[in-house]
Amino acid sequence: MSTAPRGRRPRVVALVSARMASSRYPGKALVPLAGRPLLAVLLERVASARGLDAVVLATSNNRENDALAWVAFYRGDLPGALDHARESLAWARRAADPAVRADALATTSFLGFLCGQPYEAMAADAIGRGDDAMRGRSWTEVSVYTTPRLLSGVELLWSYRLDEARDVLEHELAEQQRRGMYTVNTEPLGLLAYLECHAGNWQRATQLAAEAVDVVEESGQSTTQLHVVYASRAWPAALLGDVDLARRLATDGARGAIANDDPFNGAWNEFVLGFLDLSLGDHASACRHLEVAAKFDLDLDAVPPGMTPFLSDLIESYAALGRLGDAERLVDRLDARAGAEGGRWASAVAARGRALVAAARGDLRTAESAAEESVPMLDGLNLPFEAARSRLVLGQVQRRAKKKRVAREHLEAARAAFERLGAVIWVERARSELARIGGRPSTPFELTETEQQIAVLVAQGRTNQETADALFVSPSTVQASLKRIYQKLEVRSRTELAARIGASPSPDASP
């Protein structure tokens, strides 16, 4: 039996519960009870306990509202989330701990950003207070999960300010590693993986996401967090054409999201499945997945369009299926977000959507103009895959308009961009369009950087598995790449490949 004085027990329980409530894990870490998190109910009961002083009461109410804000966000209730965040901030002003105020400022600023009410001064204040609070203290005393700087990085990422976001997120990851915050590395790792997917650095994205998966599995968080990191690992796999791996991870991730009552991360897993089907030309299946993802976007109604970039893929599948009215409604929605943070991306993909809809109606002049508008905007944002997709649409429209020369130029540019990225499925789509024009291409098919790496390792005597391990890709990716390499170099075996490349055997090569 505890010998602690009775008068101190409510204070101790309140402080412990407040720290638990500040953990921003969706799902089972905040078990619902009568529509509210179990921890929030616990805090409410503790707050009414006799002997609770004003400072602890402020802290417990702050943490309760902070927890409620994040639960509302993950469930798609953005106005409710912002209301709870503001209430959390009001209580934080009465709390003694500067870390409490830093978290409340960060949460309110972030949700204000999503509502189209950016609080930049508040975000900067949160980061400064958070840094001050961390000096000379254990990180578990200050912020259990999402730090103010990390939320600032998310805002930059969802605004497509990728270089700035990378600097902030890499700084945060380095700080976490310096402080031994291993169990929460998953957030910056996963966010950096998404960022590098946008930026076209897919091998780097694969490495970061794989590390995030390892952290979750090794730290015992699989029940509540594996579905989150599966989405960040599945997306680069889908982009690189590793169909089986991407589908398995995203399918398991979608199931895990349902089990954790986490529609936000469920939407991301459904997005990967939809993108994969779109890439393979199965637009009916793509729509089924993308509509689930888009529902979260539409229900949340966040102002920055970059938060959930699901709509552009759904527009393409709707257009391919002849659902032009549905496609146009989503194009209009993206256009309406053009003035928000990340609005240039929304304008660019909306223009591509208009091109697809106009082309489906046979209005090739409007389609060509819209596609031409999309390409330079995406180039300016340094989004190479999205720019290549718009070039592919432009070339398709020009081919249909019998403008063979310019169509070939744009299709070959799209094909070359896809090859540089390693987007094997999209390379074949571009080649198929080029084949419909006929004639000889004006430029040869050269090996992409990834294909060059695979060719050298295989020529040195590495097996497909060894090559895959060395490059952090799957054996099926190596096998598919080898098929293209043989075709491009006009060789038929590994021996001929070694002779063509002139590679010397690797000391690590298998006998």
Who's near 440: CB < 8 A, 6+ residues apart?
none
**Nearest in space to 451 (alpha carbons), one of 430, 472, 422:** 422
Angle at 69 between CA 68 and CA 71, to 5 degrees: 60
Q: State how far the Cα of 414 lies from the Cα of 399, in Å rounded to an integer.
A: 14
- What distances in angstroms separate CA 22 from CA 58, 141, 143, 250, one per listed residue? 14, 11, 8, 28
Please report which helix (H) or strand (E) contains residue 36, including its range. Answer: strand 36-37
Is 1.10.10.10 the CATH classification of the domain at 449-501?
Answer: yes
The DSSP output letter for 51 is: T
Q: State how far the Cα of 165 lies from the Cα of 196, in Å rounded to an integer.
A: 11
pLDDT at residue 6, as a whole number: 37
- Domain spanning 311-439 has what CATH number? 1.25.40.10
Please report which helix (H) or strand (E) contains residue 37, including its range. Answer: strand 36-37
Residue 131 CA to chain centroid, in angstroms?
Answer: 26
pLDDT string in tens for the chain (511-residue length): 333 333 444 444 444 444 444 444 443 334 343 344 455 555 555 555 544 556 566 666 777 778 788 888 877 788 888 888 888 888 777 776 778 888 888 888 899 888 888 777 888 888 888 888 777 666 665 655 578 899 999 999 999 999 999 999 999 999 888 888 888 889 999 999 999 999 999 999 999 999 999 999 999 989 889 999 999 999 999 999 999 999 999 999 999 999 988 888 999 999 999 999 999 999 999 999 999 999 988 888 888 888 878 999 999 999 999 999 999 999 999 998 888 877 899 999 999 999 999 999 999 999 999 999 999 999 999 999 999 999 999 999 999 999 999 999 999 999 999 999 999 999 999 999 999 987 554 444 567 778 888 888 888 888 998 888 888 778 888 888 888 888 777 777 888 787 776 544 444 444 3
Phi, psi of 250, deg, nearest 5: -70, -35
Torsion angle defined by CA atoms of residues 364, 366, 371 and 373, in that order, rounded to the nearest 10 degrees: 160
CA dihedral over 473, 474, 479, 484, signed as positive or negative: negative
The DSSP output letter for 307 is: G
Q: Which residues pair with 33 in a beta bridge?
A: 36
Record the pTM. 0.78
pLDDT at residue 266, as a whole number: 93
Phi, psi of 37, deg, nearest 5: -60, 140
Helices 148-158, 186-199: inter-axial angle, 10-degree rounding? 20
Per DSSP, the three-state class of 32 is strand
Please report which helix (H) or strand (E) contains residue 33, including its range. Answer: strand 32-33
CB-neighbour burial class of residue 9 (10 A; exposed 0-12, middle 13-18, buried 19+): middle
**3-state percent breakdown (helix, strand, coil) of the chain, nearest 5:** 75, 0, 25
* Domain edges within the chain: 1-132, 311-439, 449-501
Q: Which residues pair with 32 in a beta bridge?
A: 37
The DSSP output letter for 309 is: T
Cβ proximity of 488 and 445 under 8 Å: yes
CA dihedral over 40, 45, 48, 50, signed as positive or negative: negative
Phi-psi region of 430 (alpha: psi -120 to 50; beta: other; left: phi over 0): alpha
Tokens of 71: 């639960």
Cβ proximity of 95 and 101 under 8 Å: yes
Half-sphere exposure of 151 (CA within 13 A, CB side): 30
Query: How would DSSP label each residue in 312-353?
Result: HHHHHHHHHTT-HHHHHHHHHHHHHTTTSTTHHHHHHHHHHH
